[in-house]
Amino acid sequence: SLKIPAISQYGLCESARSSCRSVSGTITVVTVRVERQLMSSQKCECGRCRPALGLPGGQGRRDARWCARCPSKPTNAVDVVNRRCECGRSQPSFGLTGEGRGHARWCIRCPSKPTDAVNVKNPRCECGPTLGPPGGGRGSAKWCKNCPNKPPDATNVANRRCVCGRAEPSLGLPWESSRGARWCAKCPDKSPLAVNVVNKRCECGRSLPSLGLPGETSREARWCAKCPTKPPLAVNVVSKKCECGRGQPSLGIEGEGRRGAKWCAKCPGKPPEAVNVVSKRCECGRG
Q: What is the pLDDT of residues 85-108, one digit of tens each?
A: 878 778 888 888 777 777 788 888
Would you give the distance in Å from CA 146 to the centre of its chain? 30
Q: What is the pLDDT of residue 29?
A: 46
Q: What is the pLDDT of residue 215?
A: 78
The one-letter amino acid code at 280 reads: K
Do you know the residue count of the chain?
287
Query: Does 133 or 162 have the greater pLDDT score?
Result: 162
Above 70 in pLDDT, residue 160?
A: yes
Above 80 in pLDDT, residue 270?
A: yes
Say if strands 155-156 and 131-132 run parallel, antiparallel, or are unpaired.
Answer: antiparallel
Q: What band does 259 get if pLDDT is binned at 50, 70 and 90? A: confident
For the chain, the maximum distance between any two Cα atoms, rounded to a whole number of angstroms, is 88
Name residue 7's beta-bridge partners: 12
**Global confidence as pTM:** 0.31
Q: What is the pLDDT of residue 24?
A: 45
Q: What is the pLDDT of residue 89?
A: 78
Q: H or E stretch including 118?
A: strand 118-119
Q: What is the pLDDT of residue 152?
A: 82
Measured at the CA of 269, the angle between CA 287 and CA 219, to 5 degrees, comes to: 75
Is 222:243 a contact under the CB 8 Å cutoff?
A: no
Q: What is the mean pLDDT of residues 24-50?
A: 60
Query: How high is the mean pLDDT of the chain?
Result: 75
Q: DSSP letter string over 216-246?
A: --GGG--B-TT-TT--TT-EESSS---TTSS
Q: What is the pLDDT of residue 33?
A: 53
